[in-house]
Amino acid sequence: MGWSWQIAKVRGIDVKIHATFVFALIWGALIWGGGRPEGWLYGAFLTIVLFAVVLAHEFGHAIAAQRYGIKVQDIVLLPIGGVARLNRMPDKPVQELVVALAGPAVNLVIGLALAPVLLYGIALRMQAGDGIGLPAIAQPGFFNLVAFLVVINLSLLVFNMLPAFPMDGGRVLRALLALKLPYARATNVAAVVGRSLAIGFGVFGLFTGNLGLALVAMFVFFGAGAENQEVTQRESLRGLTVSEVIDNQAPVFAASLPAHTAFERLVRSPYASVAVVDEAGQFKGAVTRRGMQAQWLTGKRGTVDQFVEQVTPVQVECDSTLVAARERMAEAQASVAAVYCGNSFEGLLDFETIGRVIAMRQMGWRDGRGPVASEG
């Protein structure tokens, strides 16, 4: 994620903070500072405590995902909360249920662990004749800080468990639906529920002046749509193998080919990427139209091997499923994969090819042999 800086690395997971996080600190200082300059520092401190709780919540998701062999790219802290970016969601509904509940479970454990301390503080207030109200959570003091942590953790627990997909509660809803419905259908239902709730959040936030809630609503609305589209695309690739979609007749560039010749051929060709081989015919890497054009504009010249983007690109077997190949490319953040049948190089697979296959399948074409016949 752009404009983010790494501040720590835990269990192999990069913890990053977004540049806009400074606005959260300013907001916290003003809201919890009580209008006093001396209170602004404490307000900023409470904001850091809040986001420490958010970070713990996200690590709940991340650690649960790691237990199922899912790689976690990073955790990014934003003004509206935190995001644990997983390379993929669990394939099994029960696993997704565990990952989705792991974050709120962290908040529940922290809240329950601190509840006795808070009750003790309330008891002391009663003995002092100060009544039974909660401590003033926005004022310095040990029991006030404990009260703040209890309130924040319980609030995050309740808010995140709302069935607003792709929030935690929405993922729980999708996982439960997927136990009985096809995964794509379960995702569609959860997305509709999530977007409906997002509209409600947005309207309420705008009318009450709660811009934070309005931003969360926008995130939920677009996030639900994007994830629903992703699942729909993935389902459209089911049943296809890599060998069924790669073009064995695609051109191949010799490493010694002049760059200007390769560039002209690549721009005029329908291929987004072309394999480059050495004098012995061994696969050396790949060049892409976009990458070569970007380097060409910088004045780079020479032979085509100087434009190879990935000397050791992702390799997939020709009998791999297209879904698995796509996920592996996404995990490696690679735009191109080299396809092998055993030790024999067969061609390249790129996201442009996968995109064309998705479009054809969604139009009713199956395995490139023509439209699916309607029944009935």
| pLDDT the model gives residue 159 | 93
Sequence ranges of the chain with CATH classification 3.10.580.10: 242-362
Average pLDDT over residues 70-97: 89
C-alpha to C-alpha distance for 106 and 245, rounded to whole angstroms:
44
Tell me the longest C-alpha to C-alpha distance in the chain. Answer: 90
Nearest-CA neighbor of 152 among 142, 137, 133?
137
Q: Give per-residue burial for 322-359: e unless 16+ CB within 10 Å, then b.
A: bbebbebbeeeebbbbbbbeeeebbbbbbbbbbeebbe
Considering only residues 111 and 350, tell me which one the structure prediction assigns the higher pLDDT: 111
In percent, the amount of the chain with pLDDT more than 70 equals: 91
C-alpha to C-alpha distance for 280 and 278, rounded to whole angstroms:
5
| pLDDT the model gives residue 138 | 66
On the question of pLDDT at 103 being above 80, the answer is yes
Q: Tell me the per-residue pLDDT of 1-31, one tens digit each, with 9 for 90 and over.
A: 668 889 999 999 999 999 888 888 888 888 8
C-alpha to C-alpha distance for 1 and 207, rounded to whole angstroms:
31
Average pLDDT over residues 177-206: 94
Tell me the two tokens of residue 4: 């983010």
On the question of pLDDT at 375 being above 60, the answer is no
Average pLDDT over residues 354-365: 81
| Cβ(204)–Cβ(195) below 8 Å | no
On the question of pLDDT at 359 being above 50, the answer is yes
Q: Tell me the per-residue pLDDT of 251-304, one tens digit each, with 9 for 90 and over.
A: 888 888 888 888 888 888 888 888 888 877 778 888 888 878 777 776 667 888
| pLDDT the model gives residue 374 | 34
Q: Tell me the per-residue pLDDT of 27-40, one tens digit each, with 9 for 90 and over.
A: 888 887 766 777 78
Give domain 242-362's CATH architecture.
Roll (3.10)
